Amino acid sequence: MSDFPSTIETSTTPVEGFGWGDSAELHKCEDGGGLFHRFKTIRRGTVAELIAFVMAMPEDRQDDYAIQKDGDHTLRIGEIRGLSRRADFPQGA
């Protein structure tokens, strides 16, 4: 379930939780022209899997990566670290 509301959603129930299972791409950000300069896709998976992957890297390499979540939301390292510490983060992702 995505945490981005659909434009055709008819329910008035608020979205619950975070879309840990949403599909996403892991990108390596290369210096020189900002976030999208030579943005390279490294792997695809769920948001939870990619967060776990980045957090398993050496800390000095984590800043080189970003996660592009379906729905056009980019997670940079600060948000990735914050999400990995959430109580509802899926263990063993």
pLDDT in tens, 29-75: 765 555 555 567 889 999 999 999 999 999 999 999 999 998 778 99
Give Rg (Cα) of the chain.
14
Question: What ranges do the domains of the chain cover?
Answer: 23-84
For residue 38, the SS3 value is coil
The model's pTM is 0.74
Q: Residues 1-26: pLDDT tens digits?
A: 455 544 444 445 444 578 999 999 99
